[in-house]
Chain A
């Protein structure tokens, strides 16, 4: 297995290389450049030309690419054109915010979805099952920004249970307990929103798996042996039904850094989703390429992780 993992990692290099060329060309295809946004009556067009030239944006793309990749392999992704700071530290700052938010939401998501899925599957066609199905379709149908705004309005502004924007209250010193508490306090509401919106997939998978497994031969065997129903569920059915969920776990882990543009915008939470979208509209090439490379790497890593997890959970699967 170790051999395979190493091989998969080596295989990532050419994959990422191709991705980097693709994103580089596509980014340059977009009209405008990072300096287009600076056009005002007060800026001098000749200065903008000078800056464009200085930044090397007038060179053909392959020359720019070689220059970029030579630095990128050393871990230097350059300066953000709009934020005027090191791309790595900018992404690092946002990634940390996004990570904690996603981490809490994923925990909440499973905490809500797994029990609901199991109950709905076990008491198939009961009133409880129908309620869960209704809930899951309702949350699937409701747009992110609507639920976020409603929650923000009710729990943030009317009931004043939660802060309404930002990731931390400015009155706390970084590193103190109060600061950490404030950070946690700020992510609760967006995390709940995010979790509720994401439960549908897990609930539906789990429910239908359980319904299917219930009818399997080995379950019937177990039952006929006289094993109590509770034990049949906990030992036989649930374990098997969790397999498809486990298959996605790798992606879920690496997806923690994806971020959500809607949640971040509505809750004023500086995260990765916003950074990605705004870097595209402002043509911040260095941030765009760095982010796409990061996401590309995470996706490959996610699929590898999923395979590894599957092989652990399901002994029938082997990575060769």
Chain B
């Protein structure tokens, strides 16, 4: 009975969602004009509202999420991205970055890179204080390394790049009491020695840690108890413009201004962050309950389009989705990628290219995502302005080209059933693994399969259905023979380096494609020579071109993230290169404004 009720509800939800989706379609189709516009024109990255600012005031922030937040407020220990969203208001970051997410000298600390001796010198500003009034010490910059490297540390951040710090391995295995490569020079200066140094250091890679931890507060807590301690869960001190005042576990966080903030006292009295369910966020925005909304799902854009109490800001996300072709296997014993083009069903380059040209991703982006997703041309998101290759043609919808590519490669229909056979005249069935998601996902995948059918390719779903997240990655990782092609996505983080995802030893190189020239390019990108920005950009270009050419991983979509901002907020910007200084946010009314 319980089960019956559940399945009934699921059914009803799906019907409702489908109906909602249909309504969206009509809307988009009636607005043919919008089609020509690119998303860059659709959104501003910053807004300024007129009005006399009020004194102080509390900013109401909503985070859209259907589950409680986890509440691990430590940069060393958190794993859930929503915790980071909350912490961003009270950040312990010591560096500031430019539009390419590269470290500058503007922050609390500045960094001097000595390529020759593979050393980095970090110097902290004078007079910076924690939110409890304690001065920032160089020990606070050292402490995170001692936490992450510690044998009883249980987070994900102790990885091979962390072990690039001289002495980190010895410390982790318990052989050494401290990390020998980390040296305090004086009260403001720290020197870190690395085994290898690459330009990734400017993106916070190579093992560099870009946050400080309050040693006066947490240094005495055993590392394995840190994550459950009140100092992490209830009253963490910060270097950011706001400090934690109260936390209701899983629901809301109250921040008040940090009087000691190094850039000056914040103009707001405080910030309240609340988790708001996705089902009611649009109504909440219209009713003027929130000033700022984080994590708003772009597919809900039509619901808030007509509100006149908000500005909607948008920017490209650090994300791409892709179509991957399995062209080899990962040898888990030797820990290396074994590409086998000739022995793989997807080994034919023209077949792969044809499959890329066959997909009408443009239509899907328009109808299902209201152009808040766009067809991707590259495997580097456009947000990385200096590395992204705008000139790449990428793959676009061209079924005729796809057909002629297949004809050329010898994939022709021999037996006249409308489906092409492989060059040997044998039946060709391509197995696609795709992630399950909302009901739209089901329709989208069915549409893609139809696209392929239109050019004569027989693509079927692995296990005849969409696959749930855990199972999907288990099977893709294990090179399941039931998977010929798969649709995945990566959030890239702020380090665009392809190392880790495309290298010859990388487990996450899911297509199992590697080649000498690709390997050289990847090495070049993170080589000493690449400290020259121009050279690095050039190597990035070579990487993107190479992958476009071999077509083992065809970029599908880039995504835009949008931020509804209430007209009560005086100035706000989400520009990657020039974001709002949080302490300078001002309000022009006592309460958020409701839509009329």
Q: Which of A22-49 contact B (CB under 8 A)?
A: 30-33, 36-48
A149 at the interface (CB under 8 A from B): yes
- Would you call B67 and A278 a contact (CB within 8 A)? yes
CB distance from B236 to the nearest CB of A (A): 15
Q: Contact flags (1/0) for A285-311 with B, using CB distance below 8 Å? A: 000000000000000000000000000
Q: Which of A156-187 contact B (CB under 8 A)?
A: 156-157, 164-168, 170-171
CB distance from A216 to the nearest CB of B (A): 29
By beta carbon, the residue of chain B nearest A166 is B251
- How many residue-residue contacts, CB under 8 A, span A and B? 144
How long is the Cα–Cα vector from A37 to B8 in the complex, in angstroms? Answer: 29
Q: Which of B66-85 contact A (CB under 8 A)?
A: 66-68, 70-72, 77, 79-80
Known: A43-B159, A47-B158, A143-B9. A270 touches B280 (CB 8 A): no
Q: How large is the interface on B (under 10, 10 to 19, 20 to 34, 35 or more residues)?
A: 35 or more
Q: Specify which chain A residues have a CB less than 8 angstroms from the CB of B279 in the assembled complex.
A: 145, 149, 265-266
CB distance from A12 to the nearest CB of B (A): 22
Known: A38-B79, A45-B508. A270 touches B471 (CB 8 A): no
B93 at the interface (CB under 8 A from A): no
Of the candidates B77, B248, B283, the one whose C-beta lies within 8 Å of that of A84 is: B77
- Would you call A45 and B470 a contact (CB within 8 A)? no
Q: Contact flags (1/0) for B339-368 with A, using CB distance below 8 Å? A: 000000000000000000000000000000
A54 at the interface (CB under 8 A from B): yes
Of the candidates B9, B12, B249, B493, the one whose C-beta lies within 8 Å of that of A40 is: B493
Q: Which of A131-173 contact B (CB under 8 A)?
A: 143-146, 149, 152-153, 156-157, 164-168, 170-171
Q: Specify which chain A residues have a CB less than 8 angstroms from the CB of B473 in the assembled complex.
A: 32, 36, 39
Of the candidates A31, A41, A270, the one whose C-beta lies within 8 Å of that of B501 is: A41
A244 at the interface (CB under 8 A from B): no
What would 10 A/B residue contacts be, using CB atoms closer than 8 Å?
A31-B471, A32-B469, A32-B470, A146-B12, A157-B289, A166-B252, A166-B274, A265-B279, A270-B250, A274-B67
- Would you call B490 and A45 a contact (CB within 8 A)? no
A13 at the interface (CB under 8 A from B): no
Q: Specify which chain A residues have a CB less than 8 angstroms from the CB of B246 in the assembled complex.
A: 170
A212 at the interface (CB under 8 A from B): no
Given contacts A41-B508, A82-B70, 11 further A-B contacts (CB under 8 A): A40-B491, A40-B493, A41-B491, A43-B156, A45-B506, A51-B156, A84-B154, A166-B251, A170-B272, A267-B277, A268-B277
Give the top 4 A-B pairs by smallest Cβ distance, nearest first.
Answer: A32-B470, A44-B159, A31-B471, A45-B507
Known: A32-B470, A47-B156, A167-B248. A84 touches B70 (CB 8 A): yes
Of the candidates A31, A40, A145, A165, the one whose C-beta lies within 8 Å of that of B474 is: A31
By beta carbon, the residue of chain B nearest A171 is B254
Q: Specify which chain B residues have a CB less than 8 angstroms from the CB of A40 in the assembled complex.
A: 490-491, 493
Q: Specify which chain A residues have a CB less than 8 angstroms from the CB of B299 in the assembled complex.
A: none
B237 at the interface (CB under 8 A from A): no
- Would you call B68 and A85 a contact (CB within 8 A)? no
CB distance from A128 to the nearest CB of B (A): 28
Q: Which of B39-87 contact A (CB under 8 A)?
A: 66-68, 70-72, 77, 79-80
Chain B residues proximal to chain A, CB less than 8 Å:
8-9, 12-13, 66-68, 70-72, 77, 79-80, 154, 156, 158-161, 227-228, 233, 246, 248-254, 272, 274-277, 279-280, 283-284, 287, 289, 468-471, 473-475, 490-493, 495, 500-501, 506-508
- Would you call B274 and A165 a contact (CB within 8 A)? yes
- Would you call A84 and B490 a contact (CB within 8 A)? no
- Would you call B277 and A165 a contact (CB within 8 A)? yes
CB distance from A141 to the nearest CB of B (A): 10
CB distance from A246 to the nearest CB of B (A): 20
- Would you call B159 and A153 a contact (CB within 8 A)? no
Known: A44-B159, A170-B246. A145 touches B272 (CB 8 A): no
- Would you call B228 and A86 a contact (CB within 8 A)? yes
Q: Specify which chain A residues have a CB less than 8 angstroms from the CB of B280 in the assembled complex.
A: 149, 152-153, 156-157, 164-165, 266
How long is the Cα–Cα vector from A152 to B283 in the complex, in angstroms? Answer: 10
By beta carbon, the residue of chain A nearest B6 is A261
How long is the Cα–Cα vector from A85 to B69 in the complex, in angstroms? Answer: 13
